[in-house]
């Protein structure tokens, strides 16, 4: 057997070290993934253990009624409000994010696109309490004027009706704040997805004389459909769980009738219910009620993420 020279020996030792490092890295990542799953399971078990006694005492009325007055409690109004605020935010944030991403990827000069990218990333890092304070002092007064115009010119549409004349603390303002918080997340993902469109596909569409809109409709958007949906769902998860920013600009009300009029004062979400009632809970039972409400919010957010993964995976299979 031929002797192994010094260079070959160093190569073998380096390969062995590399393989050993890969194994350590893989095991570390696997352990971290299992820890994350254990934490998620622990949160689910803890909140579920709090929700079971509440359902035993309150029954399904806890999910189907809108009252928070001992001895009866229900979170239907807050569940509906969470969904309504998320829908308002999506209607505002998704078109704005998509247009901004298209401008950054296909229209803006490289210098402008880089500046906008940094600004979008900076917006995503702003704490929600700062946005809440800004919304309370700056956005809310302006939003009242916008809502008055909506009521004046579009009041024949049910969602833009306002019979009280009070335009403060409305779901519209809270949804607008959530949209501002969603835009950086959705824009970042959308920009990355559109930026990965194969240049040969774009060049081929331009060679055929396609306009920018045609290229987006038949090339860029279909190619990145899965990523776009994932970005929107990621932003939706942020909207469903946001607390402080919404708490600053909305007037908590349990009557779900007001929620159909998005410019009518009064609304709320499960997250704002928890933050408004937790500090003044009358006893352990009310604390348990709030934890049960958190359980259903947690399950709703988890369901949104699961649905997003299913849509992204299905889209990927169809494209392949």
Number of other residues whose CB lies within 10 A of the CB of residue 31: 10
Reported as a pLDDT band with limits 50, 70 and 90, residue 38 is: very high
- Computed from CA positions of residues 198, 204, 207, 209, in that sequence, does the dihedral angle turn out positive or negative? negative
Among residues of the chain, what percentage have pLDDT more than 70? 90
The pLDDT score that the predictor gives to residue 261 is 83
164-191 pLDDT, tens per residue?
A: 888 988 999 999 999 999 999 899 888 9
Side-chain half-sphere CA neighbours of 294 within 13 A: 21
**154-163, 239-248, 250-259: least confident range:** 250-259
Summary mean pLDDT of the chain:
85
Q: Is 39 helix (H, G, I), strand (E, B) or coil?
A: helix
Residue 209 has pLDDT above 50, yes or no: yes
Q: Are 296 and 75 in contact (CB under 8 A)?
A: yes
The pLDDT score that the predictor gives to residue 234 is 82
216-230 pLDDT, tens per residue?
A: 888 888 888 878 888
269-319 pLDDT, tens per residue?
A: 898 999 888 888 788 889 999 999 999 998 888 888 787 777 767 765 555
Kindly state the average pLDDT of the residues 257-271.
82
Q: Which letter does DSSP use for residue 158 in this model?
A: G
Among residues of the chain, what percentage have pLDDT more than 90? 28
91-132 pLDDT, tens per residue?
A: 999 999 999 999 998 888 888 989 998 998 888 888 888 999
Q: Where are the alpha helices (DSSP H) in the chain?
A: 6-58, 61-64, 76-102, 110-124, 128-134, 140-154, 171-195, 199-207, 212-215, 221-223, 225-241, 244-249, 270-277, 284-319
Kindly state the average pLDDT of the residues 252-276.
82
The pLDDT score that the predictor gives to residue 306 is 81
The pLDDT score that the predictor gives to residue 1 is 45
The pLDDT score that the predictor gives to residue 138 is 93
Q: Return the closest-CA partner of residue 200 out of 190, 221, 215.
A: 215
The pLDDT score that the predictor gives to residue 177 is 94
The pLDDT score that the predictor gives to residue 108 is 86
In degrees to the nearest 10, what's the CA dihedral of 15, 21, 22, 25? -170
The pLDDT score that the predictor gives to residue 290 is 92
The CATH class given to the 63-319 domain equals mainly alpha
In which element (H, E) is residue 73 found? strand 72-73
Residue 11 has pLDDT above 60, yes or no: no
Residue 134 has pLDDT above 90, yes or no: yes
45-85 pLDDT, tens per residue?
A: 999 999 999 988 988 888 888 888 888 898 998 988 888 99
């Amino acid at each position: 057997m031929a002797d192994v020279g010094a260079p070959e020996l160093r190569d073998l030792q380096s390969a062995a070290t590399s393989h050993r490092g890969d194994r350590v890295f893989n095991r570390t990542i696997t352990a971290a993934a299992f820890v994350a799953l254990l934490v998620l399971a622990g949160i689910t078990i803890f909140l579920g253990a709090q929700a079971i006694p509440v359902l035993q005492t309150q029954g399904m009325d806890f999910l189907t009624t809108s009252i928070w007055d001992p001895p009866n409690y229900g979170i239907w109004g807050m569940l509906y409000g969470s969904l309504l605020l998320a829908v308002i935010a999506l209607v505002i944030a998704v078109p704005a994010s998509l247009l901004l991403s298209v401008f950054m990827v296909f229209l803006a000069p490289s210098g402008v696109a880089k500046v906008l990218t940094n600004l979008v990333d900076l917006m995503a890092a702003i704490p929600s309490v700062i946005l809440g304070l800004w919304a309370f002092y700056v956005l809310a007064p302006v939003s009242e004027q916008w809502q008055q115009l909506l009521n004046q010119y579009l009041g024949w549409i049910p969602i833009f009706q306002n019979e009280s004349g009070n335009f403060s603390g409305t779901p519209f303002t809270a949804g607008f704040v959530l949209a501002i918080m969603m835009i950086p997340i959705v824009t970042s993902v959308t920009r990355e997805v559109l930026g990965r469109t194969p240049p040969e596909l774009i060049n081929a569409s331009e060679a055929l004389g396609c306009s920018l809109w045609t290229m987006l409709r038949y090339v860029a958007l279909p190619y990145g459909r899965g990523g776009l949906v994932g970005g929107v769902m990621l932003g939706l998860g942020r909207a469903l769980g946001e607390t402080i920013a919404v708490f600053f600009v909305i007037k908590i009300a349990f009557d779900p009738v007001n929620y159909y009029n998005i410019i009518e004062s009064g609304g709320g979400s499960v997250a704002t219910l928890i933050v408004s009632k937790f500090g003044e809970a009358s006893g352990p039972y009310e604390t348990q009620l709030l934890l049960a409400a958190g359980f259903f919010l947690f399950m709703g957010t988890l369901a949104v993420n699961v649905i997003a993964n299913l849509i992204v995976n299905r889209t990927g299979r169809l494209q392949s």
